[in-house]
């Protein structure tokens, strides 16, 4: 005997209330029974109840409607006149068929729902490639998702992992596929498609979970970009040793911003603007173009202020002597507005 121990996966779906759907079908079924009862009661003179004809009460009519619509048909109440039999043929029988269709349709839908959802999940997993997994949909995770979507990452390419069922429900309502479970578990990350992910954002509530999640993710995917947040500085090196490409010290970053704000409040506003993608100024990274090779970074074609040059995996400050002449394969880290960046990309494509 085998058991499916995979964590539950929730895919976004249109907001349809199952209770409303079920209630509507029950109302239609009761309406059909009422219709048949009224037909029988209005034509009660043509019905026989046992050995007596024309003695059908309203309760008898509803009883007849119930056993007729459900095809039970005990035969104790029957139409005997031609008019009653014609009414049964033209009105009661179609209502009986419609009631059966409603009953069978509801039953089949309930039974088939799990199969449809299983097929939908299988199809989703087969198509899921080069996506980003966000482990933890709290304050840090939400901010990371907001930045990803501002950068143009589609919502169906971001998979949320969280151990809180309410948060998972909220993520799916926002349009994100989500997996309910602890990101430290291999089965949970595999359900999120970690083996085919392009990036993993690790933002749980504790540093211990961040370290273990990073270790598990790196074991399952050797090439994905893994970025993780930690609260304590003493755990930052553990994240790197666990396989993360970048470790963000969340408490330290907040503390540095607080220190700056005490002397230069407006400087903090500028930094916040730079870290908020798609608004005001942005920090962008672009590859050096052929026409920029050999030039000073300040003379790059788009004219955006260069603050760093990335060369062979090393980050060189703009005033570093090694960065004074650009080389093929360099990347420029620039300050730019969204409009200026879009204009440059259009000019380059033209």
Phi-psi region of 243 (alpha: psi -120 to 50; beta: other; left: phi over 0): left
User: What separation in angstroms does the CA of 168 have from each of 109, 131, 165?
Assistant: 25, 18, 5
pLDDT recorded at residue 2: 39
Lowest pLDDT segment from 191-200, 232-241, 260-269, 306-315: 260-269
Mean pLDDT value of segment 94-98: 78
Of the pLDDT bands very low, low, confident and very high (cuts 50, 70, 90), residue 3 is: very low
pLDDT tens-place string over residues 220-258: 999 999 999 988 888 889 999 999 998 888 766 666 666
pLDDT of 86 above 60: yes
Quote the DSSP letter at residue 203: -
- Please provide residue 309's backbone torsions phi and psi, each rounded to the nearest 5 degrees: -125, 130
pLDDT of 87 above 90: no
Of the pLDDT bands very low, low, confident and very high (cuts 50, 70, 90), residue 314 is: confident
Query: Which residues pair with residue 227 across a beta bridge?
Result: 201, 246
pLDDT recorded at residue 19: 63
Domain covering 132-254 in this structure, CATH number? 3.40.50.720
Higher pLDDT, 304 or 236: 236
Our CA angle for 141, 145, 149, nearest 5°, is 175
Lowest pLDDT segment from 172-186, 202-216, 313-327, 329-343: 329-343
pLDDT recorded at residue 349: 54
Report the alpha-carbon distance of residue 64 to residue 233 in Å, rounded.
Answer: 78
Higher pLDDT, 16 or 230: 230
Q: Is 38 exposed, middle or buried (0-12, 13-18, 19+ CB in 10 A)?
A: middle
pLDDT recorded at residue 226: 96
pLDDT of 37 above 80: yes
Of the pLDDT bands very low, low, confident and very high (cuts 50, 70, 90), residue 290 is: confident
Q: Which structure tokens are listed for 41?
A: 């009661």
Q: What is the largest CA-CA distance in the chain?
A: 112
114, containing H or E segment: helix 93-127
pLDDT tens-place string over residues 126-160: 888 999 999 999 988 998 998 888 878 999 899 99
Q: What is the DSSP secondary-structure string of 203-225?
A: --SSHHHHHHHHHHHHHH-SSSE
Q: Which of 29-38, 201-210, 274-283 has the highest mean pLDDT?
A: 201-210
pLDDT recorded at residue 346: 53
SS3 319: coil
Mean pLDDT value of segment 123-128: 82
Q: Which structure tokens are listed for 81?
A: 């006149």
SS3 242: coil
For domain 9-127, which CATH number applies: 2.30.40.10, 1.10.287.70, 3.40.50.11890, 1.10.1060.10?
1.10.287.70
Q: Is the pTM value of this prediction over 0.75?
A: no
pLDDT recorded at residue 17: 57
User: What separation in angstroms does the CA of 12 have from each of 88, 137, 216?
Assistant: 46, 16, 26
Is the Cβ–Cβ distance between 217 and 224 less than 8 Å? yes
Looking from the CA of 242 toward its CB, the CA atoms found within 13 Å total 27
Dihedral angle computed from the Cα positions of residues 22, 23, 27 and 29, in that order, rounded to the nearest 10 degrees:
20
Report the alpha-carbon distance of residue 326 to residue 132 in Å, rounded.
Answer: 32
DSSP β-ladder status, 77-79 and 132-135:
unpaired
Higher pLDDT, 29 or 4: 29
pLDDT of 345 above 60: no
pLDDT recorded at residue 207: 92
Is the Cβ–Cβ distance between 225 and 199 less than 8 Å? yes
Give the architecture (CATH level 2) of 280-349: 2-Layer Sandwich (3.30)
pLDDT recorded at residue 161: 95
340, containing H or E segment: helix 338-349
The residue ranges of every structural domain in the chain are 9-127, 132-254, 280-349
């Amino acid at each position: 005997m085998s058991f499916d121990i995979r964590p539950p996966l929730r895919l976004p779906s249109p907001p349809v209330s199952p209770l409303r759907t079920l209630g509507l079908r029950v109302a239609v079924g009761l309406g059909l029974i009422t219709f048949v009862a009224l037909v029988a009661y209005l034509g009660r003179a043509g019905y026989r109840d046992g050995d007596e004809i024309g003695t059908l009460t309203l309760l008898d009519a509803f009883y007849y409607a119930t056993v007729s619509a459900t095809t039970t048909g005990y035969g104790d109440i029957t139409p005997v006149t031609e008019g009653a039999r014609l009414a049964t043929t033209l009105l009661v029988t179609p209502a009986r068929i419609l009631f059966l269709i409603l009953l069978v349709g509801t039953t089949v839908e309930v039974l088939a729902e799990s199969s449809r959802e299983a097929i939908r999940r299988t199809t989703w997993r087969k198509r899921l490639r080069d996506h980003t997994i966000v482990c933890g949909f709290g304050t840090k995770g939400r901010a990371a998702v907001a930045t990803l979507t501002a950068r143009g990452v589609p919502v169906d390419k971001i998979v949320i992992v969280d151990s809180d069922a309410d948060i998972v429900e909220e993520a799916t309502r926002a349009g994100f596929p989500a997996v309910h479970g602890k990101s430290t578990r291999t089965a949970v990350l595999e359900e999120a498609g970690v083996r085919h992910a392009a990036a993993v954002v690790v933002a749980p509530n504790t540093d211990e979970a961040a370290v273990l999640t990073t270790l598990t993710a790196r074991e399952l995917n050797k090439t994905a970009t893994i970025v993780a947040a930690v609260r304590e500085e003493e755990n930052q090196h553990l994240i790197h040793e666990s396989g993360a490409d970048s470790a963000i010290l969340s408490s330290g970053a907040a503390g540095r911003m607080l220190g700056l704000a005490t002397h230069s409040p407006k400087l903090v506003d500028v930094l916040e603007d730079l870290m908020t993608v798609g608004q005001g100024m942005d920090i962008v990274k672009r590859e050096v173009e052929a026409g920029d090779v050999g030039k000073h970074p300040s003379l790059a074609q788009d004219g955006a202020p260069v603050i760093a040059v990335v060369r062979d995996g090393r980050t060189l400050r703009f005033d570093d002597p090694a960065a004074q002449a650009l080389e093929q394969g360099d990347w420029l880290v620039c300050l730019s507005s969204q409009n200026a960046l879009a204009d440059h990309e259009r000019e380059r494509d033209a």
